[in-house]
Structure formats: C-alpha cells, structure tokens
A = this chain, B = another copy of it.
C-alpha cells in the first residue's frame, strides 16, 4: 500500500492504488483537489474503516481539511461506488475503500470498539445471488460482522 511518488494529473502509476482511485474519481466528474487526494490516501492506507472524524482530524492531511469538506467528499465517493459506508456498532459511520473482489468482513469488540478486518473466505456469495433473484433487489451487497468481547476487555 505504498504511496510514494508524486501524484499529479499527468504523472500516474497504473499500479498505484491512489492513482487508480483518483482516476476513477476524475472520470466521474470530481475535480482533483488536495482534499480529495488526502481523503483517498488515508482510506487506502488504513487497515480498517475510518470515521469522518478520523479523517478530518488526521494529522497526515496536507491541508487540514474541514469536516464539512471531508463529509461532502465521502458522500460523493460513496455515491460513485469508490468507497463504502458501514454501520458498525458505534454511533458513527465508517468508511472504507471498495477494492474489486475484496471482502469486508469485520470483527468488532463490543466494549472498546476496536475493529479488525477478517481475512476469511466468506460463505455468503452464493447465498447473495439466491437472495438477489428471490427478492428482486438490485445492486446487492452484504456486510458480515462479528461482535464479541476482545481478550483485553473480557
């Protein structure tokens, strides 16, 4: 997930996840702004989903983006299917990149709220297709979350 080189409109590394995401955003009409790059960089670098506050208060922002700005970017990116919003156990919404073919299954401590991504083969795929057919819902996706008490809190 290394993001080293300089990202401008013209210097793009096709292997770089940030470049890919920026391209995708631009294709869909977003302007290339420092705030957009910051938000995407943070989300790509994060191992777990982030909240609006996580991003707005991050010290790794070049430009100290306002929370309203971050909020609007997150909303747009979600609409463009570049990121996904998760409802975890918290009061806050969590955001995470959508990488094709990747799963987002999480293990969350109900006490301290710590989140871990689960690298499991998710057994829900096939079920999802069946539900899509039966329910006539479109654009179906799923969230699988495990909750429990982590060793530290127990």
Contacts and interface: CB of A to CB of B under 8 A. Distances in A.
A147 B78 CA distance: 14
As for how many copies of this chain the complex holds, the number is 2
Interface of A: 85, 87-91, 93, 107, 109-110, 116, 118, 120, 123-124, 127-128, 131-132, 135-151, 154
A120 B127 contact: yes
Given A87-B87, A123-B123, A131-B107, A137 B118 contact: no
A90 B87 CA distance: 8
A120 B131 contact: yes
A140 B148 contact: yes
Contact of A142 (B116, B131, B135, B145): B145
